[in-house]
Structure 1
Amino acid sequence: MQTVLISGGGIAGPVLAHWLRHHGFAPTVVERAPGLRAGGQAVDIRGTALEVVGRMGLLERASSVRTRMRGMSVLDADGQEVHRSTESTFSSGRLDSEDIELLREDLVRMVHEHTRTDVEYLFGDSITALDEDDSGVRVGFAHGPSRTFDLVVGADGLHSTVRRLAFGPEEGFSHHLGSYLSVFGAENFLGLEDWQMWLRDADTGFGIMPVRDNTELRIAFGFESGPLAVDPRDGDALRRLVVERLGSMRWEGDRLARAARKAPDFYCDAMAQIRMDQWSRGRVTLLGDAGYCPSPLSGQGTSLALVGAHVLADCLAQDLGDHRAAYARYEERMRPFVTVNQALATENPGGPASEESVEYAKNAISLSS
């Protein structure tokens, strides 16, 4: 039984672990955080990704916790409504679509619960070294003892440690898209009821949606900026920057700034894409954002992670014992799908891609091998 170490306990890693276990592999997932990460924005499961979730037996459960928006308002900088829609929202697209929008933390939790009984999870640890030879990859950990695995998969996000160790510095692969995004939770101080609000003020803007039966808000705040000289893991510095920018906004700036200052689930990072000529090197390969992050601007990061996990596991199962052939097949099948989905992020700068483009991109691959 081949052993596979997967770095990253978010969505891509545990979904891959499920399918590897299904095909007879022995997966281990290592996650830097001490437990499941809470918070985060609403994410979308679209097109072919819905089929992946259905094959896992999770489609009904995912549907049961989907967001239930009635529509949205678009506001000017002073908070005056300039447009409203009861047919679609910027976060999920058409409200009558079969696609599913749900909170990231809900999807993470259900996938973990679905896999925890037959997948080894190592929380609170991270990879520090990869030493490959003909027999496998000797992996060094920050806290636990070194172990050897047949294969290693980096599903550890935009700032992937596995990618850095196997391929080199992030600067060679990350392409900044001209903005940053912050996401955090707050009490529903606006009294929203299944209704989103979106506002643009010069080079800043935000989207606000109620969650948890309208008891909480999820706030997604974006601002235009070139690459900042801030460590992406320095949450305190990023929080100070976001609080300052929110405080300068005319409508609800003070309350939003206070919410960002105290939010326990505060997140902020650059809007960037990862573009690589090759996702695999030796026994190591990359999955999801680590290898082909499309950025949240595409709305397809979760779907790429779900589909990529299924395809990678399928390829490894077909070419059992020959990781080179499996990785080559994985890239051949996934790269066209990645390309059209990454293009969604840049099709309409400052706004969403067209419905036609999204419809094509979300279905631009078949799970059939």
Structure 2
Amino acid sequence: MARSILVSGAGIAGPALACRLGRTGFSVTVVERAPALRRGGQAVDFRGPVHMRVLREMGLFEALAERRTHMGALQFVDARGRVVFTLPPSFAGGELEIERGDLVDVLFQKSRDSAEYVFGDSIASIAQDGGGVDVTFERERPRRFDLVVGADGLHSRVRALAFGEERRYVRHHGHSVATFRMPNLLGLERRGLVYSEPGRAVVVSSTRNVEEAVVMLVFTPSNEPLRTRFTGMGWEVPRLLPYLDGASDLYTDTISRVDVDGLSRGRVVLLGDAGYGATIGGQGTGVAVVAAYVLAGELAREADHARAFARYEATIAGYARGCQATARHMGPFFAPRSRAAIALRNAMYRALTSRPLAGVFERMTASAASDVTLPTYV
């Protein structure tokens, strides 16, 4: 039975797996390229009975609930700041929303005593045989493990080494995204505002810390610098853009999804965004934690890693694809390419969030998150 496991990535999926595996007698090492935990990013959410069950069984629910954002509505506004339509709190926040940094901290605190964490390093090469995996690192000495888990995100190094180059698996959906933090100039209190113009949108929200706001920029590809891409927009955008220049936590990426032909190669397996991620809109956080719960459970009850990997994939693959399905619509949803498309979006969501259809809308946002039958693990 495999006992030593190397996990690449200390974001969400990796520490979630370490939380579960460390209690069942495995020797877990988590290696992370960054010099410390990455605590920034957008708020993330959990929704539906599957997510709630997993959080409770992993002993995470109470700690996360203490830090929940209690986020309110997401309002779409026009250039004069008038509300065009409002999405209910459950649309973006689900049943339990938490800032990503808080979730990372809880997972780390829950796993640090049962797992070894190595920061400021990454995997350089992987060579596997019938008995294990020889791993070299960028900085640390080479080591041998029974199994390697790639939980290192959309642009996974483990996936590139064991499965092949990124272009075979990452599909770009035609928009990009950037996020950064700034002072809460708009005085938001646990709510968000969205302003769209053709091919670009600005989302501003404030959650638990009312002194701070998180800005998300959504845009169609351009050769222009990011600041230039948003210069000339209306509403409050001119007040926000100066904070982009000095943002120390600026994150940018394409809005993409990962599709792999099988989640394992021998003794290497993919978890979370590395195997079935989407940049935004694919419920990646909830899927990652559920998948970590399943992978840990299968490894704990099955001596043969190949059979454990197969059962993990059989349980998770279809579920993850269902959650990913909405990701390709996120760019056009926030930043439609034309004024006509913006008007159509506004009319459609005004109808969906009206009182007669409110129940239907709630079910739409939660159904994919619950579309999986989980085994019972001891």
Same fold, TM-score > 0.5, yes or no: yes
Deviations 1:143-187 (A, max 9, x none): 000000000000000000000000110000011111111111100
Q: Please name the residue that 1:364 is paired with.
A: 371
CA distance in 1, matches of 2:330, 2:20: 35
- Equivalent of 1:107 in 103, 113, 120: 103
Question: Quick check: 1:319–1:326 contact (8 Å CA) kept in 2?
Answer: yes
Question: Quick check: 2:126–2:136 contact (8 Å CA) kept in 1?
Answer: yes
Question: Structure 1 25/291 Cα, relative in aligned 2: closer, same or farther at 3 Å?
Answer: same
CA distance in 2, matches of 1:179, 1:44: 22
Alignment of 1:1-369 (within 5 A): 2-47=3-48, 48-84=50-86, 87-88=88-89, 90-92=91-93, 99-225=95-221, 241-298=225-282, 300-320=283-303, 322-346=304-328, 350-351=332-333, 355-369=362-376
Question: Quick check: 1:42–1:102 contact (8 Å CA) kept in 2?
Answer: yes
CA distance in 2, matches of 1:123, 1:17: 15
1:91 match: secondary structure: helix
TM-score, structure 2 as length reference: 0.87
CA distance in 2, matches of 1:9, 1:276: 21
Q: Compute the displacement of 1:90 (Å).
A: 4.9
Q: Compute the displacement of 1:111 (Å).
A: 0.6
CA distance in 1, matches of 2:15, 2:362: 30
Structure with the largest fraction of helix: 2
Flag structure 2 segments of 5+ consecutive residues without an equivalent.
335-348, 350-360
Question: Structure 1 179/197 Cα, relative in aligned 2: closer, same or farther at 3 Å?
Answer: same
Question: Quick check: 1:181–1:221 contact (8 Å CA) kept in 2?
Answer: yes
Q: Compute the displacement of 1:57 (Å).
A: 1.8
Letter in 2 for 1:141: F
2:144 match: secondary structure: strand
Question: Quick check: 2:174–2:331 contact (8 Å CA) kept in 1?
Answer: no
Question: Quick check: 1:180–1:270 contact (8 Å CA) kept in 2?
Answer: yes
Question: Structure 1 72/344 Cα, relative in aligned 2: closer, same or farther at 3 Å?
Answer: closer
TM-score, structure 1 as length reference: 0.89
Flag structure 1 segments of 5+ consecutive residues without an equivalent.
94-98, 229-239
CA distance in 1, matches of 2:39, 2:32: 14
2:241 match: secondary structure: helix
CA distance in 2, matches of 1:27, 1:217: 36
CA distance in 1, matches of 2:370, 2:92: 19
